[in-house]
Amino acid sequence: MTNLILFVNSFLSYLLLFVLIVALVIVACVIGVKWRKSKDAKAASETPADGSTTA
C-alpha cells in the first residue's frame, strides 16, 4: 500500500510539472505570435504602399 501511495504521489508531481511546462510553452507561443504580427505590421507601415523601391 505504501508503494502505491508513493507511486501516485510521484505520478501527480510529474503530471503537475508537465502541465506547467505545457502552459509555459503555450504562453511563449502566443507572445511570439503577437510580437511577430506587431513587427510585420510595423514593417508594412514603413514601406511604400505601391511596393516600389528606390535603387
Q: What is the residue-averaged pLDDT of the chain?
A: 90
The reported pTM is 0.69
Residue 53: alpha-carbon gap to chain centroid:
35
CA distances from 15 to 2, 8, 18, 20, 49 (A): 20, 10, 5, 9, 51
Q: What pLDDT score was predicted for residue 47? A: 77
Q: How far apart are CA 5 and CA 10, in angstroms?
A: 9
Q: Virtual CA dihedral for 31, 33, 34, 37, nearest 10 degrees?
A: 160
Q: What pLDDT score was predicted for residue 52? A: 60
The predicted-structure confidence for 1-55, as pLDDT tens digits, reads as follows 999 999 999 999 999 999 999 999 999 999 999 999 999 999 989 876 565 666 5
Three cell numbers written together for 36? 511577430
